[in-house]
């Protein structure tokens, strides 16, 4: 039936990317922002170390940030996108200042106040602006406060985007976005939201692994939505494992920021011996892929549960003022980081690949944008450098807004089929969903983790096929729930990761396989681009 567009732009996601875009559009467009749970619940809120941004206008500082990003990206960054992003650094921080965000300051040699800069792995200089060790919380709360006050922004919490709605052409490049079906997880009703532009800002997919630093929402929904609608997805083999997640039965998912290593934190074995110098001359400040693999190697070699990160040799006041949240959280678990080392393990942290976009965040479908962790812009290559992610959210929010504002607003009613629940019944076997979630995350951790092999990937592929059939059948017959939607999306993401990993016949950046343990220098580095089959039904319920 004809659906009236009540909004100009539908933004799926209320993290750094989604809310920045909303705020940049709202003076000229009517915007609705969806959030799967509460507005704060996304990776943005949990970000610790900060935002990498060159604040001075010196060409050498810009060049150095570009160079470090390209090195971390192991030959697969798009140099033009890297330059564009790095050059947006100051503008991005100015935008956050305007939203009321506060940053940690210090006094320079002349006694003047200036922004304090962190250093993290892969960075050859201090260039990371931050709010102590809780940068994401300050950023999120500032943006949410501004968005709540804007009359043109509607914020819908507990609204889960089920599927995108597009025109029906077979060729994605001829399709136009029309809106999305959205499940209100409180009322259990599915509604249709029509909009002339839709932006996917749903964050990453790291819940596909058993151990992750990410919150519950990071189930790769946006990647799966875009794939089902016909968009290409790139470089999914490059899943980033953060080297230092707290290892404690009650400290589930808690990150120990890379800034701790930036301030001199040393990695060591239980006997106190250092090991990072055996792997890389930059030791603790090597890029993440190298540090995570080194820890994984030491854990397996010595049969350990974890390694240790020690900052306790620094003055207690310094530790408490630089890392107040980490100090407090560890102390709650009886670890006093001013006196003892922190037990740490690697955990899935960031999705470097994603929905392919151009430099204005356009996807393959007209009117559909992707930005933030869900997108593949070309900035991160085979391994994202620390603190470049929040920068990317801000840069591409700006670029997408520029592109959207160039177009004429259009609220013409469009023909959209109603959501159809006539063929489904309430599920009597929710246990199937919980069991399959668990099984998926376990075999992804065991077979598609930090160190891969063809045999492990094939094992994962086989198990995945069984789950895919079971869940497809279940989805057709039973009423949807958030858990089912997330599982359905995670299965697509897992498939994309496995297929991409099987395609890459070399080890590069975050993708390490025992069957091809070195770089393939015989040809120029290639992105892994997967194209959806010509027609996959967007949804089984319309
Ligand atoms: P998110 O902030 O994850 O937001 C996603 C949003 O999408 C949420 O609102 C969610 O509810 C919504 N959503 C998802 N699916 C749906 C759906 N189906 N329907 C409706 N809504 C949906 N990066 C840095 O640069 N610096 C750091 O210091 C840093 N520290 C980090 C620390 C931790 C612990 C973690 C986990 C990540 C860190 N990162 C850091 C990475 C960075 O935080 C993320 O990449 C970035 O915040 C992603 O922002 P986003 O807006 O794309 O997604
Ligand atoms: C951290 O603080 O270590 C996280 C930084 C990032 O993921 O960019």
C-beta 72 within 6 A of ligand 2? no
Domain-located, residue 45: yes
- Asked whether residue 126 is assigned to any structural domain, the reply reads no
d(CA 534, CA 228): 10
Q: What is the pLDDT of residue 539?
A: 56
| 3-state DSSP assignment of residue 57 | coil
Number of the ligand closest to the Cα of 384: 2
Place of tokens 């106190």: 272
- Say how many Å lie between the CA of residue 203 and the centre of ligand 1: 5
> For residue 256, which atom of ligand 2 is closest to its CA?
3
Report the pLDDT value the prediction gives residue 541, as an integer from 0 to 100. Answer: 59
Q: Which ligand is nearest to the CA of 121?
A: 2
Q: Does one domain contain both 308 and 212? A: no
Based on the domain organization, do 212 and 322 belong to the same domain?
no
Residue 373 parent element (H or E): none
Residues 312 and 363 in one domain: no
Structure tokens at 162: 């089920």
- 537 found inside a domain: no
Are 356 and 477 in the same domain?
no
∠ Cα 344 324 136 (to 5°)? 85
User: Is residue 357 one of the residues assigned to a domain?
Assistant: yes
* Residue of 254, 258, 389 with the most ligand 2 atoms within 8 Å of its CB, for mutation: 258
Query: What is the reported pLDDT for 415?
Result: 86
pLDDT < 70 positions in the chain: 1, 534-542
231 with 254, same domain?
no
- The CATH number covering residue 501 comes to 1.20.58.100
pLDDT at 170: 76
**CA–CA distances in Å: residue 473 to residues 72, 425, 494:** 42, 13, 18
* Alpha-carbon distances of 167 from 2, 164, 180, rounded to whole Å: 13, 10, 12
Distance 380 CA to ligand 2 centre (A): 14
Residue 217 Cβ contacting ligand 1 at under 6 Å: yes
Give catalytic residue positions.
288
DSSP one-letter string for 196-242: EEEEE-----GGGSSSBSS-TT-S-HHHHHHHHHT--EE-TT-EEEE
Cβ of 288 closer than 6 Å to ligand 1, yes or no, is no
**Closest atom of ligand 2 to CA, residue 349:** 7
In a domain, 41, yes or no: yes
**Residue 204 domain-assigned (yes or no):** yes
Q: What is the DSSP string of 82-151?
A: HHHHHHTHHHHHHHHHHTT----EEE-TTS-EEE-EE--TT-SS--EE-STT-HHHHHHHHHHHHHHH-T
Q: 2 - beta bridge partners? A: 415
Backbone φ, ψ for residue 193 (5° rounding): -115, 115
Q: Residue 449, Cβ neighbours under 10 Å: how many?
A: 21
* Domain of residue 278, residue span: 242-347
Residues 232 and 211 in one domain: yes
User: Do 356 and 248 share a structural domain?
Assistant: no
332 with 261, same domain: the answer is yes
- Nearest residue (by CA) to ligand 1, atom 12, is 13
In a domain, 86, yes or no: no
Please tell me whether residues 39 and 142 are part of one structural domain: yes
> What is the value of pTM for the model shown?
0.96
Q: For 407-453, how does the pLDDT look when each residue is reduced to its tens digit (9 = 90+)?
A: 999 888 888 888 888 888 887 778 889 999 999 999 999 999 999 99
On whether both 221 and 334 belong to a single domain, the answer is: no
Ligand nearest to the CA of 291: 2
Indicate which residue's Cα is closest to atom 38 of ligand 1.
Answer: 47
Q: How much is the pLDDT for 540?
A: 55
**Assigned token pair, 476:** 């057709």
Residues 264 and 338 both lie in one domain: yes
> Which residue has a Cα nearest atom 47 of ligand 1?
44
Strand 105-107 relative to strand 113-115, pairing: antiparallel
Calculate ∠ Cα 286-287-292, nearest 5°: 95
User: Is residue 347 classed as helix, strand or coil in its secondary structure?
Assistant: strand
Within its chain, how far is the Cα of 359 from the centroid?
A: 18
Look up the CATH number of the domain holding residue 152: 3.50.50.60
21 is a domain residue: yes
Domain count across the chain: 3
**Nearest atom within ligand 2 for CA of residue 49:** 2
C-alpha–C-alpha distance, residues 529 and 103, integer Å: 38
Q: Which of 347, 377, 396 is the last residue of a domain?
A: 347
Task: Calculate ∠ Cα 189-44-282, nearest 5°.
Answer: 145
Ligand 1 atom nearest to CA at 219: 15
Q: Are 332 and 463 part of one and the same domain?
A: no
Please give the distance, rounded to the nearest whole angstrom, from the Cα atom of residue 42 to the centre of ligand 1. Answer: 4
């Amino acid at each position: 039936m004809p659906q009236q567009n009540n909004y100009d732009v539908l933004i799926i996601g209320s993290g750094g990317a989604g809310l920045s875009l909303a705020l940049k559009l709202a003076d000229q467009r009517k915007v609705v922002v969806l959030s799967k749970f509460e507005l704060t619940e996304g990776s943005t809120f949990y970000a610790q170390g900060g935002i990498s941004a060159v604040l001075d206008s010196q060409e050498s500082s810009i060049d150095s940030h570009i160079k470090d990003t390209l090195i971390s990206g192991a030959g697969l960054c798009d140099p033009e996108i890297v330059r564009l992003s790095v050059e947006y650094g100051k503008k991005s921080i100015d935008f956050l200042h305007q939203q009321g965000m506060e940053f940690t300051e210090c006094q320079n040699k002349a006694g003047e106040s200036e922004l304090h800069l962190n250093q993290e792995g892969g960075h050859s200089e201090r260039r990371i602006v931050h709010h102590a060790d809780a940068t994401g919380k300050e950023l999120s709360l500032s943006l949410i406060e501004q968005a709540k006050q804007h009359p043109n922004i509607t914020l819908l919490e507990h609204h889960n985007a089920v599927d995108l709605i597009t025109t029906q052409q077979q060729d994605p490049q001829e399709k136009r976005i029309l809106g999305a079906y959205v499940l209100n997880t409180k009322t259990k009703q599915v509604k249709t939201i029509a909009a002339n532009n839709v932006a996917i800002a749903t964050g990453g997919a790291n819940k596909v692994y058993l151990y992750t630093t990410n919150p519950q929402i990071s189930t790769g929904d946006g990647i799966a939505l875009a794939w089902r609608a016909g968009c290409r997805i790139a470089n999914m083999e490059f899943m980033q494992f953060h080297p230092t997640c707290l290892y404690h039965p009650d400290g589930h998912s808690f990150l120990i920021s890379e800034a701790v290593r930036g301030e001199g934190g040393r990695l060591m074995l239980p006997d106190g011996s250092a090991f990072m110098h055996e792997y890389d001359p930059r030791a603790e400040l090597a890029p993440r892929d190298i540090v995570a693999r080194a820890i994984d190697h030491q854990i397996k070699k010595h049969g350990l549960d974890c390694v240790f990160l020690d900052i306790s040799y620094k003055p207690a006041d310094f530790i408490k003022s630089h890392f107040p949240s980490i100090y407090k959280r560890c102390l709650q678990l009886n670890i006093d980081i001013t006196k003892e080392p922190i037990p740490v393990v690697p955990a899935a942290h960031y999705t470097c690949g994603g929905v392919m976009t151009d430099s204005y965040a356009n996807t393959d479908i007209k009117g559909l944008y992707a930005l933030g962790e869900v997108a593949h812009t070309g900035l991160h290559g085979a391994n994202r450098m620390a603190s470049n992610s929040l920068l990317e959210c801000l840069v591409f929010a700006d670029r997408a807004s520029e592109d959207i504002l160039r177009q004429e607003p259009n609220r013409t009613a469009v023909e959209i089929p109603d959501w159809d629940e006539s063929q489904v019944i309430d599920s009597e076997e929710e246990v199937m969903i919980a069991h399959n979630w668990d099984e998926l995350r376990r075999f992804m951790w065991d077979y598609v983790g930090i160190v891969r092999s063809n045999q492990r990937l094939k094992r994962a592929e086989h198990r995945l096929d069984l789950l895919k059939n079971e869940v497809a059948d279940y989805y057709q017959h039973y009423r949807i729930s958030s858990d089912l939607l997330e599982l359905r999306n995670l299965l697509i993401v897992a498939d994309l990761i496995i297929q991409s990993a099987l395609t890459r016949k070399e080890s590069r950046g975050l993708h390490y396989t025992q069957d091809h343990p070195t770089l393939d220098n015989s040809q120029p580095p290639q992105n892994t681009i997967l194209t959806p089959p010509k027609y996959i039904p967007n949804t089984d319920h319309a």
